[in-house]
Amino acid sequence: MGRTPYTDGRLNKGAWTAFEDQILRDHVKIHGVGKWGKIAEKTSLKRCGKSCRLRWLNYLRPDIKRRNISQDEEDLIIRLHRLLGNRFCLYGL
């Protein structure tokens, strides 16, 4: 039950290189997001679709802000957590 993953025993594992990141960025720029399983067939990444999707969502998306949070933001998170519990994140902080 379920899909057979695209593997021929030669998938890369471990840390991504800057070259692989650039290939993934270029592919997403041209083709858009989605159909991650086809990336292994269309590019030279030799990564599974899940790995490509997670790399894009967690590290390479241009709208990800990588910075320290300010004291005001931290106070807001604490106040919302006191008020709403763990559901505070559902309200689009």
- Residues 44-60: pLDDT tens digits? 888 888 999 999 999 99
φ, ψ of residue 44 in degrees (nearest 5):
-100, 25
CA–CA distance, 55 with 52 (Å, rounded to integer): 5
| Type of residue numbered 36 | W
> Is residue 43 over pLDDT 90?
no
Q: Which helix (H) or strand (E) holds 68?
A: none
User: Considering the entire predicted model, what is its pTM?
Assistant: 0.64
CATH 1.20.140, domain 18-60, yes or no: no
CATH 1.10.10 region(s) of the chain? 18-60
- Asked if residues 14 and 46 have their Cβ atoms less than 8 Å apart, the reply is no
CB contact set of 80 (below 8 Å; sequence gap of 6+): 88, 91, 93
